[in-house]
Chains A and B, each alone.
Chain A
């Protein structure tokens, strides 16, 4: 009996493996084509310059939630102040920080406390104080009681004056043109409500004047593996989903949204560890249910550099949180699963995330166990098992190489030929323990979902180093039109 069951499960695993790889191949090809055709050609440097010279942009409020970010907050804000964009404000929200976050901000940017006439579009924890910088008039700092990242973003949204807002992590650094490249899409598409950019690991990169001037391969393999993971996630996966108008994730590290759309959907959801994904899924759901035209896109051009974990403990906690967040979001919006009312989202994207993302680590771990049992029990020849594992590794490497290959076309790529060779090697080495470790951690996270709702875990940061540049002046606020009827 048990033998029949195991045999049956083998087939499930094999079909799962084949389907996942075929789908991945499909998204990769479509995503790559979109990058090559549209972004490399339509959004050239020349057309961007035209936009700037002719005032074609929508001003942006940049929201930076920060909880105990004393190590990175000053460098991060300096990098944001150096953005090449004519009209933006930065709203840093200190979420009950207990370290020196506020002190460092006050000293670095000459903050003066002042009262602030805020809107109460969204509920948030009590705002203790508001500050404006005496040296950078477009920098506002909010000091509030701790309420979590989503709560901080809601508080920031209450302060935001501009029609678009960008949510940026305090340990991240944007490319100079990132906001311009993302915001131009909103000018061209009236129905666009959210845009996600590409996240690249900041570790080991050369930072000058608040800008990444050269990408470099980090020394630790742990960080190198994450370069591949990020390339796979952004250059292929999200580009493909975006093409099908089914993008379910815009990274919390950098996303640009139409403020009125987010307010209409109720702002960020407090009490979840995946407020970024949850917001995007809710936006989809809200606009579909309201029968309103909308679009949510990924664009590879605006690049955000983010510090990735360099130690195993931080990585474990991060991935545990990400996976719990995925489950939380899928569970909150379980009504969408296989629901034709939500079109391709309900019938393809959401089921994909349930089956091939949320359940993936469980299937992977059970596969390893099954191979062991199969060999031990004698119904799987070691030769067959080895061949199958080799095939899985080769497929993984193929996917990594494709994604990392897209990075070669970027002007700011890893410059040396040796870097490319190292990435090739990393694509192999990540299968020697790293991948299995993460699958195991994500399996544990799956089991923890009911017990650890909304818990973040402590993150260890090295911090961003940079120096201040003169910011663009903050100009008059421009309220967004409330409808997109014209």
Chain B
């Protein structure tokens, strides 16, 4: 869809603005209220974070580097306990219901692609034989069917990240947390992985929480962008991106996309304040 210059996109973004955190609680699978994190070093990374995560949505946490968005994600994952506030889940979670994709591919260099993707199944005690079809299926799905026996060192940066995503999906999680997964990749690879991630999300309908410092990436991918303030991080503004899916290259070059990016950039600039 190609929108006329400067029009509906900006308005839609304007309409969609929601005051921080006051989203419908009915469909929320996770609710954060007053969540804060102060590290032993005395650094307060996150303060008074109110956020609802709704089932099946693609939401981005957008903010400048060091605004505590990664810390927020790690608290959601249960890797870091919050210092204040509560994180309430609608359902209790078992290991494997929640997956994490790190900024680095974070693969084990001593084992093959298949060995890396099998890791979550092994740690959950699933039996090795029954895992084989699942491994092949997920590797095919991320386009690495022919690389099951390759070692991470033999792969490009983009392929390593695909392995990392396959590993995150292998347990069929309900929630996928991604911490700037494509930040270290070149633009061509990043665009390709953005498209593939969107296709996966539409097919599998996971809830995705995506941390990024790229306005363009967040607008392209998300249904909702949570703009965060610099440290200590809290929600500055939530912006709904109403553009329909599937989104592709034509969305990326549309005026609507450009207008949305401008709106989000302005919000980010306001969030960062004059001092930055």
Is A bound to B? Answer: no
Partner-B contacts on A (CB < 8 A): none
Partner-A contacts on B (CB < 8 A): none
